[in-house]
Amino acid sequence: MSGVLPKVLRILLVLPAIGFVVIGLRFAVAPAGAAKGLAMPLLDGAARSSQIGDVGALFLGMGLMILAAVVTLKREWFIAPAILLGLVAILRVLAWRFHDAELLMQMIVSEVVIAALLLLASSKLTKAE
């Protein structure tokens, strides 16, 4: 694939990747602000440790995987964060449907769009093996 589309697709993926890395790092250094930015309170005690570790790692990991994908153009680096984002979106819907959570459509839509871009990139930007 040559031309402008691969460059645009890479830019469209680098932007959320940087955002994910920033959110992950914020959970490490300023977790109250990071949690607030995701519409969640900062928890206490052992729950805080899990929240900072799990949520921070999820965002930092997804961001780093997307950056690895854009640099290496390896299919698996595109697929892994797409799976994670898809699962996050699905679990948000399940939380709303079965556990009295608020339906956060803006977050769900952005997760689905980024996952779709990753899947598109996995087929359009990767090298034939």
Burial 23-39 (b: 16+ CB within 10 A, else e): bbebbeeebeebbeeee
Q: What is the mean pLDDT of the chain?
A: 95
106-120 confidence digits (pLDDT tens): 999 999 999 999 999
Q: What predicted TM-score, i.e. pTM, was given to this entire model?
A: 0.93
pLDDT confidence of residue 128:
55
At 110, which amino acid appears? S
Name which residue leads in pLDDT, 50 or 6: 50
pLDDT confidence of residue 1:
52
53-69 confidence digits (pLDDT tens): 999 999 999 999 999 99
pLDDT confidence of residue 49:
98
92-108 confidence digits (pLDDT tens): 999 999 999 999 999 99
Cα distance between the two ends of the chain: 15
Contact yes or no for 39/104 (Cβ under 8 A) = yes
Question: DSSP secondary structure string, 35-49?
Answer: HHHTT-----HHHHH
9-35 confidence digits (pLDDT tens): 999 999 999 999 999 999 999 999 999
> 41 pLDDT band (50/70/90 cuts)?
very high
